[in-house]
């Protein structure tokens, strides 16, 4: 697992935003370019906004991948090329540079990036991160947004736990696996996962006992982070991932996590700073 720290300075009642982008699959014929471009432009315009690239940015299907490769799945830029991975790196770099206002917390790994690393000894995530200047994440990890309150020494961390997802997450949208996995980790407010191309947010109530003996109750969210691989069109010969796996139609898009810094001045026993947050899908 990897840990990434993002430092922010904010005033009380100011908000920062996080958009997990999982399973974009930008190099597939089913990719929804318009939907992703709209999200990138709208979310980049928000103040204090960060994207999380949660893996499977591309499908990275090569002819030697007997399990998944087919000619129709190749992107146009890869047709007739011997150096498909080099071309894919260039396409990735061009994508990130297309949105200069976008802030990226991390770029992580999915099963497709891991497959390329395993069978072709090529770390496309590391290469792209070096080219663009993005923090390299892991297949799983934590991202701590450490907020310093303006004109104060107070600091508080808002933590995202992430995992690209696991094949058994296909059942029931992965909720059983996600609850089990996230329950083994402490200190997070939102857990984001992908792989199954589903989009939903599930709140749960969490209570902890503070060092001063007070009880703090708040929501935690388990978030299935969506996809930009469209549903199979009519008369499609093979079908998209979710159709083949029997998971039904999917919603294209990404959740938006909104985090507002608050200060509790009514109760001296409580922390002076806390986060008011929600997830919109």
| Most confidently predicted of 40-54, 143-157, 210-224 | 40-54
pLDDT of residue 257 exceeding 70, the answer is yes
> pLDDT tens-digit profile of 162-202?
999 986 555 566 888 898 999 999 889 999 999 988 899 99
Percentage of residues in the chain with pLDDT exceeding 70? 85
3-state secondary structure the chain: CEEEEEEEEECCCCEEEEEEECCCCCCCCCECHHHHHHHHHHHHCCCCEEEEECCCCCCCCCCCCCCCCCHHHCCHHHCCCCCHHHHHHHHHHHHHHCCCCCCEEEECCCHHHHHHHHHHCCCHHHHHHHHHCCCECCCEEEEEEEEEECCCCCEEEEEEEEECCCHHHHHHHHHHHHHHHHCCCCCCCEEEECCCCCEEEEEEEEEEECCCCCEEEEEEEEEEECECECCCCCCCCCCCHHHHCCCCCCCECCCEEEEEEEECCCCCCCCCEEEEEEEEC
Q: Band of the pLDDT at 232, cuts 50, 70, 90? A: low
Least confident of 2-6, 35-39, 183-187, 277-281: 183-187
Percentage of residues in the chain with pLDDT exceeding 90? 60
Rounded to an integer, the average pLDDT of 18-35 is 93
pLDDT of residue 224 exceeding 80, the answer is yes
Q: Band of the pLDDT at 44, cuts 50, 70, 90? A: very high
pLDDT of residue 204: 84
Q: Band of the pLDDT at 124, cuts 50, 70, 90? A: very high
Q: Band of the pLDDT at 92, cuts 50, 70, 90? A: very high
Least confident of 172-186, 226-240, 244-258: 226-240
Whole-prediction pTM: 0.89
pLDDT of residue 268 exceeding 60, the answer is no
pLDDT of residue 222 exceeding 90, the answer is yes
Mean pLDDT of the chain: 87
pLDDT of residue 72: 64
Selected residue with higher pLDDT from 151 and 245: 151
């Amino acid at each position: 697992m990897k840990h990434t720290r993002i430092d922010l300075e904010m005033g009380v009642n100011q908000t920062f935003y996080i958009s997990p982008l999982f399973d974009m699959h930008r190099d597939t014929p089913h990719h929804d370019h318009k939907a992703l471009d709209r999200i990138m432009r709208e979310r980049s315009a928000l103040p204090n906004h960060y994207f999380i690239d949660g893996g499977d940015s591309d499908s990275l299907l090569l002819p030697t991948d007997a399990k998944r490769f087919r000619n129709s799945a190749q992107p146009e830029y890869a047709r007739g090329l011997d150096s498909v991975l080099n071309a894919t790196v260039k396409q990735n770099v061009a994508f990130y540079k297309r949105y200069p206002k976008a802030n990226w917390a991390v770029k992580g790994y999915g099963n497709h990036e891991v497959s390329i690393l395993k069978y072709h000894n090529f770390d496309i995530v590391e290469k792209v991160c070096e080219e663009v200047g993005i923090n390299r994440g892991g297949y799983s990890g934590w991202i701590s947004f450490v907020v310093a309150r303006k004109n104060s020494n107070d600091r508080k961390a808002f933590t995202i736990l992430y995992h690209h997802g696991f094949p058994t997450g296909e059942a029931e949208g992965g909720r059983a696996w996600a609850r089990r996995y996230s329950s083994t980790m402490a200190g997070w407010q939102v857990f984001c996962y992908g792989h199954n191309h589903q989009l939903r947010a599930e709140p749960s109530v969490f209570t902890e006992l503070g060092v001063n003996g007070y009880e703090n109750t708040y929501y935690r969210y388990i978030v299935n982070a969506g996809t930009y691989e469209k549903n199979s069109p009519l008369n499609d010969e093979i079908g998209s991932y979710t159709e083949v796996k029997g998971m039904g139609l999917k919603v294209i898009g990404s959740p938006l996590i909104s985090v507002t810094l608050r200060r509790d001045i009514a109760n001296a026993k409580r922390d002076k700073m806390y986060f008011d947050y929600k997830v919109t899908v």
